[in-house]
Amino acid sequence: MKKLFKYLRPYRLSISLIVLFIFLQCLCNLYLPTLMAKIVDNGVIKGDIPYIWRIGGFMLAVSICAVVLSISAGFLSSRTSSSFGRVLRSEVFAHAEQFTLHEFDHFGTSSLITRSTNDITQVQQLVNMMLRMMIMAPLNFIGGILMAVYTDARLSLVIVVMVPLLAIAIFAIFSRATVLFKSLQVKIDKLNRVLRENLTGIRVIRSFNRVDFEKRRFDDANLDLTSTTTRVQKIMATLMPLLMLIINFSTLAIIWFAGIRINNGLMQVGSLIAFIQYVMQLLFSIMMVSMMFFMIPRASASAARINEVLEKVPEIADRELVRHANGAPGTIEFRNVTFSYPGAEKPAVSNISFVARPGQVTALIGGTGSGKSTLVSLIPRFYDIDSGALLVDGIDVREQSQENLRSKIGYVPQKAILFTGTIADNIRYGKDDATDEEIKHAADIAQATGFIAEMQNGFDSFIEQGGTNVSGGQKQRLSIARVLVRRPEIYIFDDSFSALDFKTDAKLRSALKEEVSNSTVLIVAQRVSTVRDADVIIVLDEGRIAGIGKHRELLETCQVYREIVSSQLSEEESA
Ligand SMILES: Nc1ncnc2c1ncn2[C@@H]1O[C@H](COP(=O)(O)OP(=O)(O)OP(=O)(O)O)[C@@H](O)[C@H]1O
């Protein structure tokens, strides 16, 4: 928790003002009962109406002051805690942005979302509470005791009995609730995960008639969260009545003993009223602090989860001294590269060596799970290799800045991703300042103009979240256009033509050939027809290179390639 407080530093001025306002408000509150005692003792009992008016008016002024100070402090503390939450959210977001895909897997998307929203809200609420309570509670407590002792020292013995009683009750309840508070956040995570899987996988769930099963799964997670929340609430619900019982007994005891003292002429009625008010202030300050303490376990569990994200050092970081390439633009060279996913038994790709040159189309083909996607994801440095060297523009990717490296690469992922916005926005994602002509040209090459023209608003048609209102093939073509508009040195198409029909696939590749003739093009594909015209074809088998060459050469030399070809093409086609 403490580690997060450093984000409050920029708000030192606001915090100082809050402390000052609350300090003054407490002084006002402590002064009011004394004025009240004066009115009763000197005004009411003696029947001095002008005195009542005078002191009453003064009391009103003090009360108004207290209200204004309280509102100002409340306004400032809400603003400070909200800003603290905003800064923390951006920190978590910016840090998570640097994570490698492996680190994303480690936390899980749902948990990262809960940590950036609900967990930060918990900490934010505690900060808000603390800003007000940290000064108000001790002041009211100490001031209450001092003023009570000042009003009537002997009667103050009641406090000596009550305060420990109150503390024991709070501690008993507090220790039971702490454990439950911690488990609440984990259960929210779980509920979010089930909800997310349900919402994103709704088509599969419906097609497999698993709606009832998923409903039960959701109900289980929901019930689990509800039952823990209910248990916490039940414990919390006992707190208030118990505290009120102790407070009411205290009042009773005070009135009882004060009655005896007033009867004996040792105390005045006004002092009794003031005394009760001071004791109330003191007890309420204990209650406020106890409330804050109830928030601490949950907020500190949340703070630990936030810190876990903030302290996770991204596996991939830029070297302090990065090198810039000055030759061989676009050349990609794998030198005996081996890479394993963290925790995997065997490497996903082993001993890979090849060079992809500018002006050439290099294709990767292989069975499913043979390591094609893994291999191309090493080039933009989504993962770091275990051994060997991977050079882009003649320099090891680990010696370049990630931004510089990625600016050279146009990567179309296997699963096309679109963002909420118009079609033009989605294509412009590749190049912020792309003109309308450039966008149209990219769409032309990607064979997307046809279906865009058929849409109601053309390039201004809206793409829903996740691109749900366009087909798989349309999504692929838009994500290809997004890369084309960028005109990078290197194009990586990871199985990006798989959802296209043969005709569109062929048209797109021939348009692409002219468009990107000077760049390095890497095409990952399952279909032989997509790769047969490539300048170099690399055949992958279980993470190793089984053959490198042109279509005809491989047909003669590579058994794995022959098997792939014969499984897809008729004999005349393959020739
Ligand atoms: N994020 C990951 N974590 C752990 N293992 C992974 C991960 N992604 C892929 N793998 C494993 O690495 C191997 C290669 O997978 P990869 O996705 O590179 O194959 P591919 O040839 O692209 O397959 P496909 O054509 O089906 O997409 C597989 O055994 C797969 O299980």
ipTM rounded to 2 decimals: 0.94
Q: What is the DSSP string of 170-229?
A: HHHHHHHHHHHHHHHHHHHHHHHHHHHHHHHTHHHHHHTT-HHHHHHHHHHHHHHHHHHH
C-alpha of residue 375 to centroid of ligand 1, in Å: 9
Within 8 A by CB and 6+ apart from 548, the residues are: 354, 536, 537, 538, 539
On whether the CB atoms of residues 301 and 185 are closer than 8 A, the answer is yes
3-state secondary structure of 89: helix
Rounded Cα distance between 490 and 200, Å, is 32
Q: Any bridge partners for residue 520, and if so which? A: 490
Which tokens go with 329?
């633009």
Predicted pLDDT of residue 240: 81
Predicted pLDDT of residue 574: 54
504 pocket-lining for ligand 1 (C-beta < 6 Å): no
CATH 1.20.1560.10 in the chain is located at: 12-311
Q: What is the DSSP string of 14-63?
A: HHHHHHHHHHHHHHHHHHHHHHHHHIIIIIITTT-HHHHHHHHHHHHHHH
Class (C level, CATH) for 332-574:
alpha beta
C-alpha of residue 427 to centroid of ligand 1, in Å: 28
Predicted pLDDT of residue 63: 94
C-alpha of residue 272 to centroid of ligand 1, in Å: 79
Predicted pLDDT of residue 125: 92
Q: How far is CA 224 from CA 177, 230, 362, in A?
A: 16, 10, 53
Q: Which pTM was predicted?
A: 0.72
**Number of the ligand 1 atom closest to the C-alpha atom of 102:** 1
Q: Does domain 12-311 have CATH number 1.20.1560.10?
A: yes
H or E stretch covering 380: none
364 pocket-lining for ligand 1 (C-beta < 6 Å): no
430 pocket-lining for ligand 1 (C-beta < 6 Å): no
Predicted pLDDT of residue 208: 86
C-alpha of residue 237 to centroid of ligand 1, in Å: 52
C-alpha of residue 360 to centroid of ligand 1, in Å: 26
Rounded Cα distance between 42 and 65, Å, is 24
Rounded Cα distance between 421 and 441, Å, is 20
100 pocket-lining for ligand 1 (C-beta < 6 Å): no
In 3D, which of 525, 528, 477 has the Cα closest to residue 498?
Answer: 525
372 pocket-lining for ligand 1 (C-beta < 6 Å): yes
369 pocket-lining for ligand 1 (C-beta < 6 Å): yes
* Mutation choice for ligand 1 from 373, 375, 376, CB with most ligand atoms inside 8 A: 373
Which tokens go with 448?
């997307």
Which ranges of the chain have pLDDT less than 70? 321, 325-328, 569-575
Q: What is the DSSP string of 105-143?
A: HHH-HHHHHHIIIIIHHHHHHHHHHHHHHHHHHHHHHHH
3-state secondary structure of 417: coil
pLDDT tens for each residue of 407-419: 889 999 888 888 8
382 pocket-lining for ligand 1 (C-beta < 6 Å): no
Predicted pLDDT of residue 403: 87
Q: Is 347 left (phi over 0), alpha (psi -120 to 50) or beta?
A: beta
347 pocket-lining for ligand 1 (C-beta < 6 Å): no
Predicted pLDDT of residue 573: 57
CATH 3.40.50.300 in the chain is located at: 332-574
Q: Whose CA is nearest to atom 30 of ligand 1?
A: 369
